Amino acid sequence: MRFVNIFIWLTLALILARLAAELWLASLNRRHVLAHAGEIPPAFRDIIDGPTYKKSVAYTLAKARFGDIENICSTAVLLIVLFSGVLPWLFNLFSNEFGVTVWAMTAYLLAIGSGMSLLDLPFDWVSQFRLEEKFGFNTTTQKIWWLDRLKGLLLALVLGYPLLVFVLKIVEWTGAWWWLWAWVVLLVFQFLMLVLAPVLIMPLFNKFTPLPDGSLREQLLALARRTQFRAQSIQLMDGSKRSRHSNAFFAGFGRFRKIVLFDTLVQQLSGSELEAVLAHEIGHYKKRHILKMMAFSAASSLAGLFLLSVLARQDWFYRAFGFVPGNVAPALLLFGLLAGTITFWLSPFIHWRSRRFEYQADAFAAQVMNEAQPLIGALRKLNEKNLSNLMPHPFYSGFYYSHPTLLEREQALAGKA
């Protein structure tokens, strides 16, 4: 019993420590941004005008304030869910009504997950229709927004329910080594999603059309040939029906790979700048960043499932949150709720690695383009159009940013010129 109490207090301390760190980093970043809010820093005077810079500062501060409120509320919800007894109460309710079959336990897990998602809806709505609307980014309608949530819920049920049932069945079939077999199943599922999502799932949310014939298409296809990058097609995605933010990415796998450009990106950048952005994305592929990230994700999943298998054998892990030991479903649920508290502290390492990849992809793009200026021009426009925080505190960006700041990227590219 004493160890149960120690684990309860340790869990509480870790959750509150994460919240404290989030609020401290946000405060640090806010003060840093405000210290440079008076006038445009010299490094950016040729990039952005005064009104746009003030708007970017206001956007950064507004997101920070909203983020603080969201973090406090989500932490409060997590603490209530974990320590109020509602989880074991619902578990007993499901067990008494439907039994402890894998079908019933999967329904229990999805019910809790859906409930937690519903609690996030007000924050998502305010973010889209108040914060993003205020700064001119929102282009979606209430109908599209709610339909997106409904489609997401239905997909979670259609895909998540059979997957979770299979995982729980594996626990029954394979005994102590269930975590290894579950990992294999999850890897196969993720691979199938890489292949099938661009064909079956993504079109449920967005419209994809081939990039029209013309100089831009030929320019981008010539880049693909020059870099020996095989792609089935170049497609435009109607991202503008939801937001004025922009992006580019690859979809699919192997010979089914497609290059996807947001229509907002095509509207914002010149032909050479779009070519540089695509060269950057191809750089990720050529430097095997995607494979490395997939390998890291697979290794992390394996470690996580092994840790879960260990915790699922510990009576104190169940009793700390009011469960009776014996069923793996509560352990799976608790692990999912607590995992973010642990992985939060790994964020600096994960993002440091991601930023290294971004520098390497930038260097590849500059080499392929024979100059850095097109990519620099694209980065400047994207930072301006997205009202990015041009002056984040180094601690804040180091902890949260998966991409280097604009100034860091320009300095690195200047060294490659």
The answer, yes or no, to whether residue 37 has pLDDT greater than 90, is no
Q: Mean pLDDT across the stretch 13-17? A: 95
Q: Which of the listed ranges 228-232, 245-249, 352-356 does the model predict with the highest average pLDDT?
A: 352-356
DSSP one-letter code for 45: T
pLDDT given for residue 67 in this prediction: 95
Distance CA 140, CA 275 (A): 28
- In this prediction, residue 246 carries a pLDDT of 81
Query: Which of 273, 362, 384, 410 is the catalytic position?
Result: 362
Of 281, 358, 384, 410, the catalytic one is 281
Q: Which of 318 and 1 is assigned the larger pLDDT?
A: 318
DSSP strand pairing (258-262 vs 233-237): parallel
281 is catalytic: yes
The pLDDT of residue 416 is above 60: no
**Best CA proximity match to 263, nearest among 211, 303, 298, 299:** 211
Continuous segment of H or E residues that includes residue 104: helix 102-126
Mean pLDDT of the chain, nearest integer: 90
Identify whether the C-beta of residue 148 lies closer than 8 Å to the C-beta of residue 187: no
Q: Is the pLDDT of residue 328 over 60?
A: yes
Mean pLDDT of 324-331: 91
d(CA 157, CA 110): 8
pLDDT of residue 249: 78
pLDDT exceeds cutoff 80 at 137: yes
pLDDT of residue 255: 63
Whose CA is closest to 284, among 365, 378, 361? 361
pLDDT at 58 over 90: yes
The contacts found for 316-319 with CB under 8 angstroms, 24 or more apart, are: 316/3, 316/4, 316/7, 317/7, 319/4
Is residue 362 flagged as an active site residue? yes
Q: For residue 64, what pLDDT is reported?
A: 95
pLDDT at 72 over 90: yes
Task: Give the pLDDT confidence of 138-190 residue by residue, as tens digits.
Answer: 999 999 999 999 999 999 999 999 999 999 999 999 988 999 999 999 999 99
Q: Record the tokens describing residue 347, joined without a space.
A: 């964020």
Whether the pLDDT of residue 256 is over 70: the answer is no
pLDDT at 417 over 70: no
Instruction: Please check whether residue 242 is in contact with residue 382, taking contact to mean a CB–CB distance below 8 angstroms.
Output: no
Q: Which residue has the tokens 């994305």?
A: 281
Confidence tier at 260 by pLDDT (50, 70, 90): confident
Check whether 263 has a pLDDT greater than 60.
Answer: yes
- Higher-confidence residue: 246 or 332? 332
Cα-flanking dihedrals φ and ψ of residue 234, to 5°? -115, 125
CATH of the domain spanning 206-268: 3.30.2010.10
DSSP classification of residue 207: -
DSSP per-residue codes, 335-394: HHHHHHHHHGGGHHHHHHHHHHHHHHHHHHHHHHHTSSHHHHHHHHHHHHHTT--SS--H
pLDDT confidence tier of residue 230, bands split at 50, 70 and 90: confident
